[in-house]
């Protein structure tokens, strides 16, 4: 027994916090997890990943988007889609997800304390409940901070949750805006821009950088921009929003260049800030950087060694996918359980319409580090499954080493991209070569067959190169 109330206290119940708590409980430890009643499941379940992906699914289904290649441009499942149609599905899925989280915590014997945690000292956390004067103080041998992020809001802008929103407030919309300015072309901005464009909203995206999603394959980003422009999205790159006013009919967004954009609503998706401001970090001997983020070592330990931090609060890559594993690894490390580091091959999935996913290197990275490679491409329109589902634009691209024929990167655009990428990830993770994909029989007709076609394309190009060089 230790002198502490708990072996592990976790602050925040998003993906990172949940997995840290469950990993601790599986090791037989006494664990408490703290979050506000209405936020159990974190940003992920309540305002971020799950609601946005469910909204996307509702948009795809009700607009009939994915069926128009087959039934014509005017095909719709429902003519007048309302915000209630979209929100009904979203609320249902959020409710179910939160139940799953609660049940998992409960059956693992984890105490869920409803309230807001803050440090009293480096082993003690005060939980402020929903009501005034409702406080509990608990102590823990180890503490995991998994408090995530909140949208960054410029102080000069008057957010009113109605016409000027941040990306967490999309679900408070009372109607689908006829026009929308999206400030910031990061992942959140572009995902929502593509959903509203599919609903028929005239979207203008303003981004201060010259490019968007510059960590992705440039060819795929070009394809996405082409699709979005086709859905009446206007891009303003290299432009900065300096002011937003509410006018009688809606909003006016003013750019540094002097342009003024009228729209029914404005959504800010211009980055996020670590939720550490009210944690009283100083009482635990910790401090955050200017974006509210905490620094950690390779074991997710903060400079105060029994306090760990995981998930979005430690910054990049800030994904639900990676946060979960960070939480698990932090708890295992705290209790001396052997762990394997996360593999360097982390997938990226962007749920735009159409979706994007990749794993491994990009062409830009290989070129700048002078790694010779060949590209193999498969287009969905040449796959039987692509024809059957009516996806005429999808593509899968393999980057193959011309030295040892290993797969160096896989980039997918179109239906099922975020699932398909994992075949490439597995082959790369096992050190596989392009020949494995050439010699593998895939189910037919499937989208997975794209791997074989792309692998054949790459090997044909490599053979052509060999022919020229050996003659
Ligand atoms: C719109 C949107 C879409 C996204 N889509 C994807 C996606 O498709 N795929 C993907 O992998 N990732 C996606 N993400 C990112 C993903 O949601 C985050 O990476 C993930 O939620 C981070 O998990 P976390 O453990 O850091 O905690 P979070 O989910 O950020 O939750 C933190 C929790 O801590 C609580 N908290 C904060 N301070 C305290 C305190 N002092 N006391 C008690 N509790 C506190 C909060 O109430 C919150 O519940 C998306 C994010 C957004 C915003
Ligand atoms: N599918 C996914 O995996 C997924 C989906 C959504 C979010 N996320 C995660 O959430 C995190 C936050 O995403 P985000 O999109 O908010 O942040 P971000 O920081 O990636 O993007 C914000 C963008 O806004 C621009 N910007 C800032 N101020 C501006 C201004 N005044 N005018 C014009 N442009 C401006 C910035 O240049 C930047 O490109 C990401 O790190 C991402 O990992 C992941």
Tens of pLDDT, residues 71-81: 888 888 888 89
Q: Is 53 annotated as a binding residue?
A: yes
Quickly state the pLDDT bin for 267 (edges 50, 70, 90). very high
> What is the mean pLDDT of the segment spanning 366-371?
97
Q: Is the CB of 188 under 6 A from ligand 2?
A: yes
* Cα 453 to averaged position of ligand 1 atoms, centre (Å): 38
Instruction: Return the closest-CA partner of residue 131 out of 141, 145, 116.
Output: 116
- In whole numbers, what is the pLDDT of the chain averaged over residues? 95
Lowest mean pLDDT among 5-9, 160-164, 201-205: 160-164
In the predicted model, what is the mean pLDDT of residues 180-204? 97
For a ligand 1 pocket test, name from 42, 300, 307 the mutation site with the most ligand atoms within 8 angstroms of its C-beta.
42
Distance 69 CA to ligand 1 centre (A): 36
When pLDDT is cut at 50, 70 and 90, the band that residue 199 belongs to is very high
CATH number for the domain spanning 105: value is: 3.50.50.60
Helix axes 83-107, 15-26, angle to 10 degrees: 20
Residue 348, domain member (yes or no): no
Ligand-binding site membership of 258 (annotated): no
The residue contributing the CA closest to ligand 1 atom 25 is 16
Could you tell me the pTM of the whole model? 0.95
- Check the annotation: does 186 bind a ligand: yes
In terms of domains, do 43 and 135 share one?
yes
Q: Is 182 in the pocket of ligand 2 (CB under 6 A)?
A: no
Rounded distance between C-alpha atoms, residue 111 and residue 105, angstroms? 8
Domain harbouring 359, CATH code: 3.30.390.30
Which is more confident, 72 or 233?
233
CA 49 to ligand 1 center in whole angstroms: 8
Do 283 and 378 share a domain, yes or no?
A: no
Confirm whether residue 416 is marked as ligand binding. no
186 lines ligand 2 (CB under 6 A): yes
Instruction: Tell me the CA–centroid distance for residue 63 and ligand 2, in Å.
Output: 26
Shared domain for 289 and 266, answered yes or no, is no
CA 24 to CA 83: how far, in whole Å?
41
Q: Is residue 349 part of a domain?
A: no
pLDDT band per the 50, 70, 90 thresholds, residue 471 = low
In the chain, what percentage of residues exceed pLDDT 90?
91
199 close to 63: Cβ distance less than 8 angstroms: yes
Q: Residue 404 annotated as binding?
A: no
Is 146 contained in some domain? yes
Q: Do 263 and 287 lie in a common domain?
A: no
Q: How confident is the model at residue 104 (pLDDT cuts 50, 70, 90)?
A: very high
Question: Is the Cβ–Cβ distance between 427 and 359 less than 8 Å?
Answer: no
Q: Does the annotation place 141 within a ligand binding site?
A: no
Q: Confidence class of residue 257 from pLDDT cuts 50, 70 and 90?
A: very high
Query: Is 125 inside any structural domain?
Result: yes
The finding on whether 184 has its CB within 6 A of some atom of ligand 1 is no
| One domain, residues 238 and 305 | no
Q: What is the ipTM of this complex?
A: 0.93
Judge contact between 341 and 332, C-beta under 8 A.
no
Residues 130 and 253 in one domain: no
Reported confidence tier of residue 126, pLDDT bands at 50, 70, 90: very high
93-102, 129-138, 318-327, 389-398: the lowest-pLDDT one: 129-138
Which ligand places an atom closest to the C-alpha of 90? 1
Q: Are residues 234 and 282 in the same domain?
A: no
For residues 276-291, average pLDDT: 98
Helix or strand holding residue 236 (H, E)? strand 234-237
Q: Are residues 290 and 401 in the same domain?
A: no
Q: Structural domain of residue 438, as residue ranges?
A: 354-469
Q: Name the pLDDT band for 109 (thresholds 50, 70, 90).
A: very high
Q: How far apart are CA 255 and CA 240, in angstroms?
A: 5
The answer to whether position 133 is within a domain reads yes
Q: Could you give the C-alpha distances from 43 to 116, 230, 323, in angstroms and in order?
A: 14, 32, 12
Least confident of 56-60, 342-346, 444-448: 342-346
Spatial CB neighbours of 109, under 8 Å, sequence gap ≥ 6: 25, 31
Are 420 and 462 in a shared domain? Answer: yes
43 lines ligand 2 (CB under 6 A): no
**Predicted confidence (pLDDT) at residue 320 exceeds the cutoff of 70:** yes
Q: Ligand 1 in contact with 112 (CB < 6 A)?
A: no
Q: Known binder of ligand: residue 191?
A: yes
Q: How far apart are CA 54 and CA 61, in angstroms?
A: 11
pLDDT at position 1 over 80? no
Q: Ligand 2 centroid vs 36 CA: distance in angstroms?
A: 25
Q: How many domains does the chain have?
A: 3
Residue 12 in contact with ligand 1 by CB distance below 6 A: yes
Boundary (domain end) residue, out of 219, 243, 270: 270
pLDDT at 298: 95
Q: Given a cut of 90, is residue 290 above it in pLDDT?
A: yes
| Residue 215 confidence (pLDDT) above 60 | yes
When pLDDT is cut at 50, 70 and 90, the band that residue 352 belongs to is very high
């Amino acid at each position: 027994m230790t002198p502490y109330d708990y072996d592990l206290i976790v602050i925040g119940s998003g993906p990172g916090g949940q997995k840290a708590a469950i990993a601790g409980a599986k090791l037989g430890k006494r664990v408490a997890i703290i979050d506000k009643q209405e936020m159990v499941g974190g940003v992920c379940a309540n305002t971020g990943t799950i609601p946005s992906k469910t909204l996307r699914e509702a948009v795809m289904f009700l607009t009939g988007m994915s069926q128009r290649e087959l039934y014509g441009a005017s095909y719709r499942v429902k003519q007048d889609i309302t915000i209630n149609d979209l929100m009904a599905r979203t609320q249902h899925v959020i409710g179910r997800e939160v139940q799953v989280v609660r049940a998992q915590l409960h059956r693992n014997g984890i105490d869920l304390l409803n309230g807001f945690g803050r440090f009293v000292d480096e082993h003690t956390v005060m939980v402020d409940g929903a009501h005034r004067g409702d406080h509990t103080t608990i102590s823990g041998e180890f503490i995991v901070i998994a408090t995530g992020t909140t949208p960054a809001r410029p102080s000069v802008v008057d957010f009113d949750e109605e016409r000027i929103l941040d990306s967490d407030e999309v679900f408070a919309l009372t109607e689908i805006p006829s026009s929308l300015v999206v400030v910031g072309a990061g992942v959140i901005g572009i995902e929502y821009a593509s959903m509203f464009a599919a609903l028929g909203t005239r979207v203008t995206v303003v981004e201060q950088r010259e490019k968007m999603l510059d960590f992705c394959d440039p060819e795929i980003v070009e394809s996405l921009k082409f699709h979005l422009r086709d859905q009446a999205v206007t891009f303003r790159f290299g432009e900065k929003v300096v002011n937003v006013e509410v006018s009688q009919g809606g909003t006016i967004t003013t750019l540094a260049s002097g342009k003024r954009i009228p729209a029914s609503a404005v959504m800010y998706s211009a980055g996020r800030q670590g939720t550490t401001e009210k944690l009283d970090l100083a009482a635990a001997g910790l401090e955050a950087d200017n974006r509210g983020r905490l620094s950690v070592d390779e074991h997710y330990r903060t400079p105060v060694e029994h306090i760990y931090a995981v998930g979005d609060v430690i910054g990049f890559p800030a994904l639900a996918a990676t946060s979960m594993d960070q939480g698990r690894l932090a708890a295992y490390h705290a209790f001396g359980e052997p762990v394997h580091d996360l593999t360097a091959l982390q997938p990226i999935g962007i749920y735009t319409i159409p979706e994007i996913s990749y794993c491994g290197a990009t062409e830009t990275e290989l070129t700048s580090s002078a790694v010779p490679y060949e590209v193999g491409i498969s287009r969905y329109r040449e796959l039987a499954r692509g024809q059957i589902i009516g996806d005429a634009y999808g593509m899968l691209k393999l980057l193959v080493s011309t030295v040892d024929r290993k797969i160096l990167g896989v980039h997918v655009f179109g239906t099922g991209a975020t699932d398909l990428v994992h075949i490439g990830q597995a082959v790369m993770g096992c050190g596989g070569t392009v020949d494995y994909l050439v010699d593998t029989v895939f189910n037919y007709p499937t989208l997975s067959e794209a791997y074989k076609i792309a692998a054949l394309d790459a090997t044909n190009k490599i053979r052509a190169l060999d022919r020229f060089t050996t003659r």
